[in-house]
């Protein structure tokens, strides 16, 4: 970051970083625009209008924190500490400023725990039960692969630094395949696009493995030594011939067979997946089936072979509750079920909400019910953020927080194996404080004087880095360090050694042969009766210029993203008399939002595509989550954002 006269004037990546090589993705290339934007929060605020109106008056830090402390103490006295819900998510993406201090304070108080289910829960549960955690091949070794399957990941939009290694594999002769219901930018740049129907990934995986076994290309030696439950899985694979799998996936059987034959003969094969495909009812089974493929093919033997979603299972970085800080056991509330928590949870009800690094009034499913819960007059809400988000508009107290270049942090990626040091490059504007300092001051206002609640950011960094054998001083000097528990250029599971109880791939969880990998139908996607009323499956994926709802108030980012749009296949548009540029209402029984039509064959008949992340206050009071259900997937209590049927009709009033 270049600083001139105390202001950040340009931002660039480090060219010598082993993974990013100096590249910035479109999401952060204009990060500095927001630091001194006119809407930046500079002072603590207290509500003077109705909830949701966003009318506030300035107050002092002392008065704001004393008000919060008093209301929290009143809540504890009357209802118990579990009536307080901290809603902390990943907005800062740094280990220090994200959740360390809130988890310490609220754990000490005995408040309800916010369980992080909203992002990667199904994938994490599937990897946990199959491979023992978020492990896989090294993303820097993907260029060693002869076949690359980019499965449910729009790499060029959401994992752009991985693309260089994809191109490296192609230069060595690899065949690159995108597996996605949408012809994304990534799919357009691959050698092949397998455009399956949403929610059918497990059927595709089983069909591909059927071809491998049919050709005798499965690695029985590796399976015998390093897998649990292969006979049960083999029986399941036998039940999924190409014709059956292709029918479920709505693919030409020749496409599935051809890819299966390529998979049978291409060693190593690297399967790079991420989080998009795990947001439907059968998501856990789908990811488990994908995880089974490299066990069947024996790809774990090879450098660059196997499967990878996230890298944190290899990281030696750890955030743990200090052993000398008391922690009261308390109920967990899934952060993907905030609507339920605010509208139906009882014994005790949620009476106080503390939001940090999140904008749930834009990003949660069942958005109408979430906003109804936030509007409760008996709910005391505190929001710490950079600007008045949709959630902040419902707050009783708003606290101004620092941004990345204004505080110390230690960052790790979930797509690479490096930890990065970040310290303040510019002074925070106004009275903005780091998240950590906000919590330290709140703890003091509540009379919580345990020394672990006043640890400095440097102390916190030391605790995070200690398991990796790295000191803050060392990382500060070097800038970054590799924290994987294996060396680059090796196959970490060539001889098993997975972090499962058995040390092997668990193709049947806990040895239960009834639990072999299988296809689990989605909730709404596979509901033929519901499809009569709501014939379109709606996918709401991440875009290139927004990170969830972060940046959704930035002029540059909004200009690049454009207004809410819905992509329709020409057949679906024609049957509704719609054309590109028409304004429509997208609706189901849960709610509706407005969008502009884009007619394109990038999607398939029966499948509509839009982008998540818009702030409702910027788009007429709703967004796509007004139509999504608060419902769990088969594993991890994960949300099902893409398991969503809708109807699309011309808007009665043009915007």
Q: Retrieve residue 337's tokens.
A: 């079920």
pLDDT, tens digit, 9 for 90 and up, residues 202-211: 999 999 999 9
Q: Which residue has the higher pLDDT, 243 or 562?
A: 243
The CATH 2.40.40.20 domain(s) of the chain lie at 528-650
For residue 332, what are the β-bridge partners? 113
Residue 144 near residue 118 (C-beta atoms within 8 A) = no
Residue 411 near residue 384 (C-beta atoms within 8 A) = no
CATH architecture of 39-119+317-403+431-469: 3-Layer(aba) Sandwich (3.40)
Q: Give the list of residues 6+ apart from residue 236 with CB closer than 8 angstroms, or none.
A: 206, 516, 517, 518
pLDDT tier at 519 (50, 70, 90 boundaries)?
very high
Amino acid 29: pLDDT? 75
Question: What are the Cα distances from residue 580, in Å, to 139, 239, 309, 541, 645?
Answer: 39, 43, 35, 20, 21
Q: Retrieve residue 194's tokens.
A: 């397998």
Q: How far apart are CA 551 and CA 362, in angstroms?
A: 13
Amino acid 655: pLDDT? 47
pLDDT, tens digit, 9 for 90 and up, residues 264-309: 999 999 999 998 899 999 999 999 999 999 999 999 999 999 999 9
Q: Is 6 exposed, middle or buried (0-12, 13-18, 19+ CB in 10 A)?
A: exposed
pLDDT, tens digit, 9 for 90 and up, residues 327-385: 999 999 999 999 999 999 999 999 999 999 999 999 999 999 999 999 999 999 999 99
Amino acid 351: pLDDT? 98
Amino acid 61: pLDDT? 98
Residue 585 near residue 597 (C-beta atoms within 8 A) = no
Residue 514, pLDDT above cutoff 70: no
The CATH 3.40.50.740 domain(s) of the chain lie at 39-119+317-403+431-469
In 3D, which of 577, 575, 574, 597 has the Cα closest to residue 585?
597
The rounded percent of the chain whose pLDDT value lies above 70 is 98
Half-sphere exposure for 117 (CA within 13 Å, toward CB):
25
Between CA 276 and CA 643, with CA 515 as vertex, the angle to 5 degrees is 30
Residue 415, pLDDT above cutoff 60: yes
Q: Which residue has the tokens 């209590």?
A: 637
In 3D, which of 482, 486, 460 has the Cα closest to residue 472?
460
Q: What is the CATH number of domain 528-650?
A: 2.40.40.20
Centre a 10 Å sphere on the Cβ of residue 601 and count the other Cβ atoms it contains.
Answer: 13
pLDDT tier at 548 (50, 70, 90 boundaries)?
confident
Amino acid 512: pLDDT? 57
pTM, rounded to two decimals: 0.95
E-strand ranges in 211-328 read 227-228, 269-273, 306-308
pLDDT, tens digit, 9 for 90 and up, residues 330-339: 999 999 999 9
Could you give phi then psi for residue 164, rounded to 5 degrees?
-60, -35
Instruction: Say if domain 122-309 classifies as CATH 3.40.228.10.
Output: yes
Q: Indicate the length of the chain as a whole number.
A: 655
For residue 381, what are the β-bridge partners? 353
For residue 547, what are the β-bridge partners? 550
Amino acid 20: pLDDT? 87
The CATH 3.40.228.10 domain(s) of the chain lie at 122-309
Q: How far apart are CA 403 and CA 176, in angstroms?
A: 38
Could you give phi then psi for residue 278, rounded to 5 degrees?
-100, 30
Amino acid 560: pLDDT? 80
Q: Which residue has the higher pLDDT, 89 or 307?
A: 307
pLDDT, tens digit, 9 for 90 and up, residues 61-81: 999 999 999 999 999 999 999
Q: How far apart are CA 552 and CA 617, in angstroms?
A: 10
Amino acid 22: pLDDT? 80
Q: Map 292-321 to HEC letters.
A: HHHHHHCHHHCCCCEEECCCHHHECCCCCC
Please report, for the chain, how many H helices and E strands are present, in that order.
22, 26
Centre a 10 Å sphere on the Cβ of residue 637 and count the other Cβ atoms it contains.
Answer: 17
Beta-strand relationship, 7-10 and 2-4: antiparallel
pLDDT, tens digit, 9 for 90 and up, residues 572-590: 999 999 999 999 999 999 9
């Amino acid at each position: 970051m270049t600083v001139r006269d105390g202001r950040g004037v340009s931002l660039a990546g480090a060219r010598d970083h082993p993974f990013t090589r100096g590249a910035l993705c479109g999401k952060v290339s204009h990060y500095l625009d927001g630091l001194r934007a006119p809407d930046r929060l500079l002072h603590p605020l207290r509500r003077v209008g109705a909830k949701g109106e966003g009318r506030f008056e300035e107050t002092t830090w002392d008065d704001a924190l004393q008000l919060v402390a008093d209301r929290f103490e009143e809540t504890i006295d009357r209802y118990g500490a579990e009536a307080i819900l901290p809603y902390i998510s990943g907005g800062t993406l740094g280990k220090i400023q994200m959740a360390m201090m809130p988890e310490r304070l609220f754990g000490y108080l005995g408040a309800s725990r916010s369980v992080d289910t909203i992002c990667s829960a199904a994938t994490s549960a599937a990897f946990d039960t199959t491979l023992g955690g978020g492990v896989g091949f090294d993303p820097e070794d993907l260029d060693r692969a002869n076949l690359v399957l980019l499965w449910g990941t729009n790499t060029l939009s959401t994992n752009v630094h991985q693309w260089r290694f994809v191109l490296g594999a192609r230069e060595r002769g690899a065949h690159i395949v995108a597996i996605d219901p949408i012809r994304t930018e990534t799919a357009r740049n691959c050698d092949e696009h397998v455009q399956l129907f949403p929610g059918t990934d497990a059927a595709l995986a089983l069909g591909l493995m059927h071809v491998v076994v049919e050709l005798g290309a499965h690695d029985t030696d590796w399976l015998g030594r390093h897998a649990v439950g292969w006979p049960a899985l083999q029986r399941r694979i036998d039940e999924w011939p190409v014709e059956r799998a292709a029918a479920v996936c709505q693919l030409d059987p020749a496409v599935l067979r051809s890819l299966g034959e390529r998979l049978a003969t291409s060693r190593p094969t690297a399967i790079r997946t991420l989080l998009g495909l795990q947001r439907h009812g059968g998501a856990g089974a789908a990811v488990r089936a994908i995880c089974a493929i490299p066990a069947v093919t024996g790809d774990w033997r090879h450098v660059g072979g196997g499967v990878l979603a996230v890298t944190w299972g290899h990281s030696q970085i750890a955030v743990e509750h200090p052993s000398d800080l008391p922690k009261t056991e308390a109920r967990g509330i899934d952060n993907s079920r905030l609507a339920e928590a605010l509208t139906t949870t009882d014994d005790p009800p949620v009476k106080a909400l503390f939001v940090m690094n999140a904008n749930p009034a834009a990003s949660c499913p069942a958005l109408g019910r979430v906003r109804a819960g936030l509007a409760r007059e008996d709910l005391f809400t505190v929001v710490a953020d950079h600007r008045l988000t949709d959630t902040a508009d419902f707050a009783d107290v708003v606290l101004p927080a620092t941004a990345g270049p204004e505080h110390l942090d230690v960052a790790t990626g979930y797509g690479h194996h490096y930890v990065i040091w970040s310290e303040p490059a510019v002074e925070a504007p106004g009275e903005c404080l780091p998240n950590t300092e906000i919590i330290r001051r709140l703890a003091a206002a509540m009379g919580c004087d345990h020394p672990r609640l006043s640890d400095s950011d440097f102390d916190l960094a030391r605790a995070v880095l200690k398991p990796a054998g790295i000191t803050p001083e060392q990382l500060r000097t070097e800038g970054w360090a590799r924290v994987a528990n294996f060396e680059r250029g090796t196959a970490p599971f060539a001889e098993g050694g997975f972090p499962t109880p058995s040390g092997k791939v668990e193709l049947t969880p806990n040895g239960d042969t009834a639990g072999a990998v299988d296809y689990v139908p989605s909730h709404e996607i596979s509901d033929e009766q519901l499809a009569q009323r709501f014939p379109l499956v709606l996918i709401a994926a991440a875009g290139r210029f927004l990170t969830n709802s972060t940046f959704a108030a930035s002029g540059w980012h909004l200009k690049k993203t454009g207004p809410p749009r819905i992509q329709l296949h020409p057949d679906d548009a024609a049957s509704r008399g719609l054309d590109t540029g028409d304004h429509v209402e997208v609706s189901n029984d849960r709610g509706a939002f407005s969008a502009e039509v884009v007619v394109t064959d990038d999607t398939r008949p029966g499948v509509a595509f839009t982008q998540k992340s818009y702030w409702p206050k910027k788009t007429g009071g709703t967004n796509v989550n007004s139509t999504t259900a608060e419902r769990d997937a088969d594993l991890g209590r994960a949300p099902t954002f893409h398991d969503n049927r809708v109807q699309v009709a011309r808007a009665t009033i043009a915007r």
